[in-house]
Amino acid sequence: VLLSVSAQDAAAYLLKRVLEKAIKYEFTNLAAESSWLLRTKIKNITDKKELSRYKKINEKYEEKRKWEMEATVVHEELIQFFLGGRSTSKELFRKSGVEYLKLEKMAPVVDTVQFYYLTYNIGVAHFMAGSDCRSALDLCRKAIKYIEARQNKNSGKLIPFYTNALACCTQLKIVNTSETARLISRCYDLSPEFGINRIKVMEIELQHYLYAVEYEKALDLFKKAALHPRKPFLKGANKEIWNIFEGYFSLLSKLGLISFAKVNEVIGQFETDQIDYNVKEFKKEKEGMNIPVLMLPVLAGVLENQIEGHVRTREALIQYAKRYLKKQKNVRSAAMLEALLAVDHYQFQKTASLKIIQK
């Protein structure tokens, strides 16, 4: 506006102040734009050293902007993939690996929190796509250490790494440690009490307690989460995960591992077969996140000595497993389903059963 009315002195003063703050707070686009205007549009800057300085700043921040944009495009593609499917993917693993290595080499050059955030997120996605939770956890730790030390850190840049670190600890059976306690505490610090991120933190924390066999603590957290004002607005997979929790709390109560009365008080009566009809998003992914939905009626059926009639027949379950539970990807799930079907169908024979179990 000032340039359009030939207010050169005022425009120069304002742009210099904007550039100073943009550099300080790592607003890459703003630094690139303001330095370009100072070098090309302000006519009263005639000092060659000053012009040369703005030229160098502009070139530097144009390069930063280019790499931040490239990382953003890759990051958005990965987000779109995870919105459409949640199982591991060879193509995702390959592509994210190539991009991560390329971007990581540029990180010291670009050197902005935004670029490190995008690059490390791409790296975490790469390792998780390859089921390498150990490497994903190490990278989350690295990202946390780096971003926490930066002046321009914010909760939005940190919380994905804290929640992913906790999820990786859970998968690696790293439970009830000082590190996991710190991760949980920091997740709460970074998520506003009534924000949507708080629900996601509770979800990951609850999974951690289930893996740690702290069922009472998990149920107490479920009860607390049920009262959160944002929970009724959850949709898709974010809503369905809580339906799955209900099913497995009901199963735990039938196993006598948690108070039936308390589960009934918190959740109410839960019809196991309903999970097959109420959960839609998770069932779309036939080789990954559908497995908890598939297994719950089978587990409940084994407890009742009656798998037949729980949503699918025995033959339907066998065919489903052959079609979708790729053994190279879902080894444990395929083996568990076969074992449960065998328990329900065959008489126990010590020698034969031992051979099957070992296999």
- Residue 99 pLDDT class (50, 70, 90 cuts): very high
Residue type, 95: K
Residue keyed to tokens 């944002």: 230
Mean pLDDT value across residues 98-102: 94
Q: What is the pLDDT of residue 45?
A: 62
pLDDT score for 142: 96
Q: Where does the chain have alpha helices with state H? A: 8-24, 28-40, 48-84, 90-110, 113-129, 133-148, 155-171, 178-190, 196-211, 215-226, 236-254, 260-266, 275-278, 281-284, 291-303, 314-324, 331-345, 350-358
For 107, 238, 243, 321, the CA distances from 281, given in Å and listed in that order, are 36, 9, 12, 19
Residue 260 half-sphere exposure toward CB, CA atoms < 13 A:
5
State the amino acid at position 215 in one-letter form. Y
Nearest to 136 by CA among 106, 160, 107: 160
Share of the chain above pLDDT 90, in %: 49
What is the residue whose two structure tokens read 């102040």? 17
| CA 228 – CA 196 distance, rounded (Å) | 9
Q: Does the pTM of the predicted model rise above 0.85?
A: no
DSSP letter (8 states) at residue 248: H
Q: What is the pLDDT of residues 107-146, one digit of tens each?
A: 999 999 999 999 999 999 999 888 899 999 999 999 999 9
CA 235 – CA 302 distance, rounded (Å) = 31
Are 145 and 158 in contact by the 8 Å Cβ rule? The answer is: no
Calculate the alpha carbon distances from 225 to 79, 160, 190, 200 in Å.
25, 20, 17, 10
Token readout for 123 is 């790296």
DSSP 8-class letter at 253: H
Which helix (H) or strand (E) segment is 233 a member of?
A: none
Summarised one tens digit per residue, pLDDT across range 292-311 is 777 777 777 777 766 655 55
CA dist., res. 204 & res. 245, Å (int):
12
Q: Would the CA dihedral through 16, 18, 20, 23 be positive or negative?
A: negative
